[in-house]
Chains A and B, each alone.
Chain A
Amino acid sequence: MSAMNPIRRTAIRAAAAFTAALVLPLRALAAWNKEAFQAKTAAEALKSLGIASSTESKDVVIDAPQIAENGAVVPIEITSNVPNTKSISIVIEKNPFPLTAKFDFAEGAVPFVKVNVKLGESSFVRVLAEAGGKFYSASKEVKVTIGGCGG
């Protein structure tokens, strides 16, 4: 049994419910992870995402051009064949803010995404797939002729 004052507990619960009612309609379910997205290095971004370690896996497939003429629009297609993949995160290691996207997939959504991204310079694109509380990764280098973050 909890020793907590029941009145106080009720008050806390009511306050929490009130806050949730205020905040929930304004937000998507997973709020933007400011700390992770503002991280300046891939290592910091991964730490902010709670990714302490990952295993390289051939089941994480990255389809991206080897050479991108225009860094402003680089198509990247990702498929995770790791069973029960719950999320896919994209990290562009040399970009000023490396974390580019994180997608959470509910049951019924294929752990697949295709998106156009910007590369400031040639960089490894690292993808982390989350399944069963573990992270599986793959990397692919994309060489950029004209960077996508300047003008």
Chain B
Amino acid sequence: MRGLSLLGADAETDMAEPMKIRATLKGDLCDVRVLMVHPMETGLRKDSSGAVVPAHFIQEMTVKINGKLMVDGQISQAVSRNPVFSFRLKGVKAGDKLEIAWLDSKGERSQTEAAIA
């Protein structure tokens, strides 16, 4: 059990951890909820030794349906740690491909795909 919980702690700081996406279709309206694993460091916080923790945060994010850009977002360090966003997309049907991507202040990126069920 200890091994398992350590694995969980590692996964939480791993930048490559995929986003968690939940897409709920009601008619042709799709509720998209996404959780991105990211520290969202403001650059204003100090650690226990008093040293400033450098800024490190997601700056750009996109939501696409079947390759078409639907939401193009720019965000700041004031978005909470492990950001959670909800969006609503019209004209979506089962089987459509949902792609969500982000790019952070260090040039790190992540992309996750999901099929609308």
**A interface list, Cβ under 8 A from B:** 27-33, 37, 72-74, 77, 92, 95-97, 99-106, 108-110, 112-119, 148-151
Contact = CB atoms under 8 A, between A and B. Distances in A.
Given A28-B61, A95-B78, A118 B42 contact: yes
B37 interface: no
Contacts of A92: 78
Contacts of B65: 108
A110 B59 contact: no
Contacts of B21: none
Interface string B86-111: 11111100000000010100000000
Contacts of B45: 149-151
Contacts of A101: 73-76, 79
Interface in B52-85: 59-63, 65, 68-81, 83-85
7 contacts: A29-B69, A33-B74, A108-B91, A114-B86, A117-B80, A118-B78, A118-B79
B78 A100 contact: yes
